[in-house]
Amino acid sequence: MIARQETRVTPSQAPTSRPAPRIAIVDDDEALRDSLAWLLDSVGLATRAFPGGDAFLADAPDGFDAVLLDVRMPGLSGLQVQQRLNERGDSAPVIFMTGHGDVPMAVAALKAGAFDFIEKPFNHQQLIDVVQQALAEHQSLREAATRLEALQARYAALRPKERRILVHVAEGMTSREIAEHLDISAKTVEIYRLRAMKALGANNLAELVRFCVALGLVEALPD
């Protein structure tokens, strides 16, 4: 069990209008569950504890923003729970809690997509830091996915010729080359290009190329 101690103030404690991130705590040790719930609740996070993987999976786990998951538990192991989450397509970051001898299992979990693992016993700040890093990365990924969905919708609304011209522009073709390729005038190419860029929200050529890369229309240049 984690001994209670003073914790450093973290960004999650600042007043916010957003709902508190929800953290699932999955461990068969009741005392540890209670201690972790107290700790995370004290820094402004919402928690729900589960005594095992079966109970957790039966409780709509996609409603959580992060999962603290013990490696060794009766019934389903932590790795099996992670596998079920992956099969469901759940994107919440998983942080494994491991005993001293479970590091090889934790490494296997990382290869399967876990965010991180922490060895027991761990101090308060170590746990808080890892959880907040996972939440920040998860939020960033969700925002990126939302932006991509909006971009895909705007692209889908373009006319077929506008789409073709955008791809050719992103490929590095000039307006004259595109005009010759599509058998239209260079002026028409410019009109379609500007209209399509406005529809996508691209303010310049660099943004247009980035959008086309994000949409998978052209390949990114190697670093």
176-223 per-position pLDDT tens digit: 999 999 999 999 999 999 999 999 999 998 899 889 998 998 887 544
Higher pLDDT residue, 206 or 9?
206
The pLDDT value recorded for residue 72 is 86
Residues 32 and 126 in one domain: yes
Residues 178 and 121 in one domain: no
Residues 178 and 210 in one domain: yes
16-37 per-position pLDDT tens digit: 456 888 999 999 999 999 999 9
**Model confidence, pTM:** 0.69
Report the alpha-carbon distance of residue 38 to residue 49 in Å, rounded.
Answer: 11
CATH number at residue 189: 1.10.10.10
Residues 97 and 165 in one domain: no
The pLDDT value recorded for residue 17 is 56
